[in-house]
Structure 1
């Protein structure tokens, strides 16, 4: 919900000049989608316990995150005045989601159990 609201809201007039880090926007996209997938896999594993294999949790969270990221970028391009869709944002979203999937596989595979 926060990501959707932030992605479709206008921040016109907000002074963000103190964030003068190159590609900071792309790092934020990467981070949001990394966390989205890790939390999504965790939620699916908890919700379905042993009825859903890790592979299906990983694939489901990955497909959701990539689809969601593309939809948000299209909505920004089509329905907002002060925001624009960006292919590089969609790529950062996808790379973050893929990285989150790989991290989730390591975290939840049982080979490195969380305690």
Structure 2
């Protein structure tokens, strides 16, 4: 898969740029008023939990690619803990900010599922690469 191979060979700074940009997008999408989200809806029904999983899957992969030069287990631990904590912080902000958003434990679980799938696929990719 040449696209994935090219993405995996980007300069380390590009990963950081993409990861921070992605994190900014997650933050904006998670904290804007519900009224704005309703105006932007495309008419395509997508599960909110699927979107959470994808957000945090991509977040975990991008930050892993930035930190991948350090010890593998340490990089995965660092990135997954950061992603999980960030998801909890976003949910807490939704609870306290007056933007008609609400805390949802299922969102945190969906974030965790996305993170775990990313960890599994990173480990699978690395295991295949080492063969």
Instruction: State the TM-score, normalized to the length of structure 2.
Output: 0.72
Aligned ranges 1:54-69 → 2 under 5 Å: 54-69=72-87
CA contact (8 A) 1:29 1:96 kept: yes
Separation (CA, whole Å) in 2 of partners of 1:65 and 1:56: 14
Q: CA deviation at 1:81?
A: 2.6
1:37 counterpart residue number: 60
Say which structure, 1 or 2, has more relative contact order (CA 8 Å, 6+ apart): 1
2:118 counterpart residue number: 100
Separation (CA, whole Å) in 2 of partners of 1:31 and 1:17: 18
Which 4+ stretches in 1 moved above 3 angstroms? none
RMSD: 1.8
How many equivalent pairs are there?
105
Q: CA deviation at 1:15?
A: 5.6
Separation (CA, whole Å) in 2 of partners of 1:36 and 1:16: 23
The structure that is helix-richer by fraction is 2
Q: Note the residue ranges of structure 2 that are not aligned, 5 or more in a row.
A: 1-23
